[in-house]
Structure formats: C-alpha cells, structure tokens
Amino acid sequence: MGENEPTPVGKFVQSLRARIRSDNRNQHCLLKGEISQWKPYPSGHTYFTLRDDGGQISAVIWKGRCRIPSGIKDGQEVLVIGSVDLYPARGQVQIVVERIEPIQKIGSLEQQKQKLLLQLRQEGVLDRPRKSLPTFPKHLVIVTGKGSAALADMLQLSQSRWPGIRTTVIGVTVQGDRAVEEIVRGLAVARMLNRESVATSLSVPPCDAVIVGRGGGSPEDLWAFNLEPVARAIAAMPMPVVSAVGHESDVLVSDLVADVRASTPSHAVECCVPLVDDLLAYLLDCEDRMMQGSLRQLSDSRQQLEQLRLRLQLAPQKGVSLAVRHLERLGNDLHQRTSAVLQSHKQQLAVLASALQLSHPKRVLERGYLMGVDDDGKVISSVSELNEGQSVSLQFADGEAHANIENIKQNEE
C-alpha cells in the first residue's frame, strides 16, 4: 500500500482503537462526573453519559463486569474507574466502566455509621462485656464470601495450624445489596448451630466460635459491616464472634461490636485456631514434668523410707545396749554408794558396840566390882540411900545375893 493510498476507515478506526488501548494513560482512569442518559438495556449492559460543565464522555457498563450500586440515576454524581475505548462500529470514544460509586453516598453512609455508633454506645452495646474465645474451638463457623480468596486463605491457614479441626463455612454475599441480609442470615445459621439440639441432630459439637468477615476492599465494598442489622446480629450472638474484615484504615462497626477484632481474615484464624502441635507439645511437656517430679518425689520417699528402715533396724539394739550400759552404770554406782554407806555404818556400829561394851555395868562387875540394888531395883550409889537393917540385893557378874545392912559408915569429906 503506497503512502498516498487511502486507508479504509474501518482499518483506520481499528488502528486508532489499538493506539488508544495501548496507552497506559487510558487505562483505569479515575473520573468524577454526573450521570445523564442512564440506560440499562435488556441485554444486561448499561449505557450512560458521564458529564460535567467542562465536557462529557459516553460510558458503558458491560453486563456482570461491575457491581452497580443501588439508587444510581440521572443527575447522580459518581466516581468512575474505567478504561478508554473506541467503539469501532460508531467511531465513538467511550469509557468502559470497571467501578462506579455514587459520591455523596459515602458521605451520607458515614453519617449513618456515626449515628449507629452513637446509638449502640447509648444502648451499652459497645461497652458490654466481651466473650473470650475458647482455647480452641470444638466447632468453628466461618461466615464469609462464598468461594472467596479470603475463604481459601482462611481454610489453608486453619488446616496448617490444626489439620482436621471441625469447621463449617457458610458462604454468603459480602458486598452489594444482598450482603447485609445474607451476612445476617449466615450469622443466624451459626447461632442455630450453637443450639445443643441442632448440633446433636447434625452430630456435631455446638458451634463455639464464629468468624465473620471478608477480604479487603474499598470502603463501599466493606460497607455492609457498618450497617445496623449486621452489627445487631453480631452483638446478639451467644458465642464469641471475631470480626475479620481485611482493611487498614477505618474501623468498621462490626469490629466495634464483635468480641474480638481481627485485622484480616487470616488473623482471625490465628486468633481462633491454635497450633495443635503446640498444644500437644505442651501436654507432653506437662506429662514429662509430672513424671520427673513424681519419680524424684518417689525416690525421695524411698530414701526417707530406707533411712527410716535403717534407723528402725538399729533402734532396738541401740536402745537395749544403752539401757544395759545405763543399768550397769547404775548398778556400779549403787554398789559403790551402798558399800560406802554400809562401811561407814559398820564402823559406826563397831565404835558404838565397843563403847557399849566398855560402858556396860556387867563389864565392870566382871572385873570384880558389885552393884547394890534396893528392893525396887534401883541402883544404890550412896550410903546415904541406905538404912540399917535394910535388905539389899548384891549384883555380881554371874548372879546375885541378898544381904541386910548392919552398919553404915560414911566417908569423911
């Protein structure tokens, strides 16, 4: 094709389209404007014009490619993320919308959120005592986006921490118009699973911990977790609830009413599901320590017993020999003391005996003296006691004789 050859318009448009689409500056543009000529078609595509005072551009929302918030109509100011494209059939430049959000909706939602928080605070819902998570759940229920990446992450993490831990996932819609209703219904199912009768009928332990959440997203995507029905449902749960919405900035109402706030769904799993190996290792450690302690204690007791046994064995012998020695010592002592006493008594007795012997009147009589005794048996020691003609008895060592006093003669002084 020469330089001056005309280009078929179709080819020109195609080439122009290629150039528009290959320019990164035309991809994922963030635009602000007002909606006009909003036209949903039966095919499912929606066409509208995005405009402001400075200009306008056609826009299209392909069927199912983008969530359309409720209440969008002409005149609504919106934020749009979209890529520029050329529609070859008409040669029309248009924005293919990837996301669309009404602008003032966020503002009014924020107001609603603050109002709800105020009300919940006044009712004491925010200050109520929180339930603490069990050491491990017997039956964990996860209410989250069905088939979502967040769910896959949670299950993978949970299984790595505790393979086979009993879990029931209730897959719900977590954004869009149906989100609030479905999250609330999911929580209602979890609450039913907490009932003993229902759990028994399903042959599972009653649900004792709930994770409700979703992966990260824009504030609008997460907005269901700021709404009253979800907040009330969480607050009314009989078992501990972990709020697990992946977000960094703003705190959600669900975070404030839940028993535990997790920063991400994975974090929620870490809060709920312990590492089973850690628990087992701890129990084994306890067992080991208990065993060691008991053994030490037993060997102490055995030593004590052994010592007691030895002491018992030795005790009688020791006692007897002590007693014998004691007795011996006592015996010796007694003997020594008594013999000394006896000796002194003997000596005394001998002295007394010889004294007695020497002083006895008989001894005197034996030497040739005689003793006069009157009729009354009284010894006569002086002639003055005598009268002439008186009868007296004369005592000899070997007998007595009776005599009458004939003559009394007193010695001269």
Partner 1 sequence: MTEETYTDALRRLEAIVAELERGGMDLETTLNRFEEGSKLLERCQAELKEAEGRLENLRLPDAEAAVKRATQD
Within 17-46, the residues that bind partner 1 by CB under 8 A are none
Q: How far is the CB of 110 from partner 1 (least distance, A)?
A: 29
Find where tokens 């709800």 sit: 116
Q: In the complex, what is the shortest distance from the CB of residue 186 to partner 1, in angstroms, rounded to a whole number? A: 6
The answer to whether the CB of 86 falls within 8 A of the CB of 92 is: yes
Cα–Cα dist 342/311, whole Å: 44
Q: How far is the CB of 185 from partner 1 (least distance, A)?
A: 6
Residues 135-174 that bind partner 1 (CB under 8 A): 135-139, 146, 155, 159, 162-172
- 214 in Cβ contact with 254 (< 8 Å): no
Q: 205 with 165: CB under 8 angstroms?
A: no
- Which 273-332 positions form the footprint of partner 1 (CB under 8 A)? 276, 279-280, 283, 286-287, 289-290, 292-294, 296-298, 300-301, 305
Torsion angle of C-alpha atoms 184, 190, 193, 196, degrees rounded to 10: -90
Q: How far is the CB of 145 from partner 1 (least distance, A)?
A: 11
Nearer to partner 1, 76 or 194 (CB): 194
Question: Which lies closer to partner 1 via its Cβ, residue 42 or residue 164?
Answer: 164
52 is written with which tokens? 């402001």
Q: Give the alpha-carbon dihedral of 400, 401, 403, 408, to 10 degrees.
A: -50
Give min distance, CB of 204 to partner 1, in A.
7
Q: How would DSSP label each residue in 246-276?
A: --SSSPPHHHHHSSEEESSHHHHHHHHS--H
Q: Kindly identify the residues of this chain, within the stretch 185-224, that bind partner 1 according to CB under 8 A.
A: 185-186, 189, 192-193, 197-198, 201-202, 204-205, 208
Q: What angle do CA 49, 53, 58 make, to 5 degrees?
A: 15
**Which CB sits closer to partner 1, 37 or 299?**
299
Nearer to partner 1, 82 or 206 (CB): 206
CA distance 221 to 230: 14
Is the CB of residue 174 less than 8 Å from the CB of residue 144?
yes
**Among 33-41, 98-106, 131-139, 323-331, the segment contacting partner 1 (CB under 8 A):** 131-139
Least distance between partner 1 and beta carbon 86 (Å): 41
CB of 208 to partner 1, least distance (A): 6
In contact, 252 and 135? CB cutoff 8 Å: no
CB 272 → partner 1: shortest distance, Å?
Answer: 11
Find the farthest-apart pair of alpha carbons in the chain and give their distance in angstroms, rounded: 221
Task: Report the residue number, 198 or 365, with the smaller CB distance to partner 1.
Answer: 198
Count residues near partner 1 (CB under 8 A).
50
CB of 195 to partner 1, least distance (A): 8
Task: Pick the closer one to partner 1 by CB: 109 or 271.
Answer: 271
Query: Which has the closest alpha carbon to 45: 64, 29, 31?
Result: 64
Closest CB to partner 1 among residues 201, 407: 201
Of the candidates 315, 240, 225, 228, which has an alpha carbon nearest to the alpha carbon of residue 271?
A: 240
Give the binding site for partner 1 (CB under 8 A).
Answer: 134-139, 146, 155, 159, 162-172, 182, 185-186, 189, 192-193, 197-198, 201-202, 204-205, 208, 276, 279-280, 283, 286-287, 289-290, 292-294, 296-298, 300-301, 305
